[in-house]
Amino acid sequence: MSDRQGYRVELTPTLEQRARLGQHAGLSRVVENFCLEKVKAALEQREAERTYDIAEEDLTAIPWSAPALERMWRLEHRDRYPWFTEEGLSSRVPKEACRVRAAGFKNFFDSRSGKRKGRKVGFPDWRKRKHGSRFRYDAGRARPESPRIIRLPGVGKVRTLEDMSWLTGRIADGRARVIGSTVKESAGRWWVSFQLQIDRADINEHRTVPGDAPACGIDVGVKTFATIVDDDGTVIELHAPKPLKAALRKLRKAGKAVSRKKPGSSNRAKAIERLARVHLEVANRRADFLHKTTTMLARSKRAIAIETLNVTGMVANRRLARAISDLGFGEFFRQLEYKTRWYGSSVWAADRWFPSSRLCGGCGTINRELTLADRVWTCGCGLVHDRDVNAARNLLEAMNLEQKAA
């Protein structure tokens, strides 16, 4: 059975290749803005036509789809953007830029109609340099040629910082296929992320969770990132590194250095890159912790009971927003979901309104007076509860009861 998986590797381009990568990122930005310009022009034209009582079916068509946007690009780029052909840039980048923009329009309409879950998505806006440098290739246009070389259309053969034998071996024997790739720059460093259709059967079988592994309940929180209670009574507390909190002083210093530099100067560009490096370090530390934690849980627990948190609503609390964002609860639950599927374990999520912290594990009474400040509380039946341990234990019990009933 094949699965979809991402594989990211850092590039070590030459100075000439860096310039070419930057040109392709600029091309992607230009095409995305070209597509938005065409859609807005068509919308304005339709509004004008309505004032002349033109029938709805005769109004100017709006190019919402990727093929329609791509046709417009082909028709106009020779006159409006002659440098595209003169510089020999890859034709695959505009194709994917049109798809990205069309996907943005679709997400907007799906969000308005309720087809798309999550927070409401706004109408696509103009893409600017400050939004970052990135571009995409479709299918297997960009692909590894050897364990240390990647061929990027329009750029050439680019060396990688890490060995890719794991990937190239699977592509060679047909166990993996590149279905798309994204090239992105951050803090002066370039990465390529491959989207793969891959057969993970051998990996998953080798790392399958043991049949006698314990089930557990997990309560997440700001003070203690995860309190884990196994069905044998073992309690484990995991503490997050909180990389943003640790780097706040460094971020303030780097931010002030940027504000003191003259706009447009080379010193300001260097200061911005230093600030970006600090942000990248924060993101990498958080990602490293989340990946190691979720992998450990997925490979050592046969069943995991978790909460269903309204992370968006929690972040709306200005007193907790920074701390919650620093922990990455949403990414933690997302990684648990697909890794448990890989390694043969399972995740059970409680209903959002399940009172895991307020429920007494002994008598079943719900303590409606419990506040966030109460870390330990005593029930009327005499049991003294640690808030986090009690919540994790209640989640585990709820999962067991539902599985028995099924």
Q: What pLDDT digit, counting tens, does each position of 151-206 carry?
A: 999 999 999 999 999 999 999 999 999 999 999 999 999 999 999 999 999 999 99
Distance in angstroms (rounded) separating the CA atoms of residues 104 and 87 = 28
- Token pair, residue 190, equals 């370039």
Distance in angstroms (rounded) separating the CA atoms of residues 111 and 118 = 8
Distance in angstroms (rounded) separating the CA atoms of residues 223 and 240 = 9
Distance in angstroms (rounded) separating the CA atoms of residues 327 and 368 = 27
> Nearest Cα to 70, choosing from 45, 111, 34?
34
Q: In the chain, what percentage of residues exceed pLDDT 90?
A: 86
Q: Is 192 helix (H, G, I), strand (E, B) or coil?
A: strand
Sign of CA dihedral 303, 309, 311, 314: negative
Distance in angstroms (rounded) separating the CA atoms of residues 152 and 149 = 10
pLDDT (tens digit per residue) in 5-45: 999 999 999 999 999 999 999 999 999 999 999 999 999 99
- 121, 239, 328, 367, 375 from 222: Cα distances, Å: 28, 9, 10, 21, 12
Cβ within 8 Å of residue 61, ≥6 positions away: 42, 68
* pLDDT surpassing 90 at residue 373: no
- According to DSSP, the residues that pair with 43 across neighbouring strands are none
> Nearest Cα to 35, choosing from 84, 85, 81, 71?
71
Q: Are strands 176-186 and 133-138 parallel, antiparallel or unpaired?
A: antiparallel
* pLDDT surpassing 80 at residue 88: yes
Q: Please indicate, yes or no, whether the overall pTM of this predicted structure exceeds 0.95.
A: no
Exposure string over 197-207, b if 16+ CB within 10 A, otherwise e: ebbbeebeeee
* pLDDT surpassing 90 at residue 291: yes
What is the DSSP secondary structure assignment for residue 302, as one 8-state letter?
S
* pLDDT surpassing 80 at residue 406: no
> Nearest Cα to 187, choosing from 253, 280, 266, 255?
280
Q: Is 46 exposed, middle or buried (0-12, 13-18, 19+ CB in 10 A)?
A: middle
The predicted structure's pLDDT at residue 361: 86
Is the Cβ–Cβ distance between 211 and 31 less than 8 Å? no
Distance in angstroms (rounded) separating the CA atoms of residues 289 and 147 = 27
Look at the block and give the residue holding tokens 């290739």: 137
Q: How far out from the chain centre does Cα 317 lie?
A: 22
pLDDT (tens digit per residue) in 205-262: 999 999 899 999 999 999 999 999 999 999 999 999 999 999 999 999 999 999 999 9
Count CB-CB contacts under 10 A for residue 75: 10
pLDDT (tens digit per residue) in 340-368: 999 999 999 999 899 999 999 889 899 98
The predicted structure's pLDDT at residue 276: 95
* pLDDT surpassing 80 at residue 1: no
Cβ within 8 Å of residue 156, ≥6 positions away: 17, 20
Q: Are strands 215-220 and 303-306 parallel, antiparallel or unpaired?
A: parallel
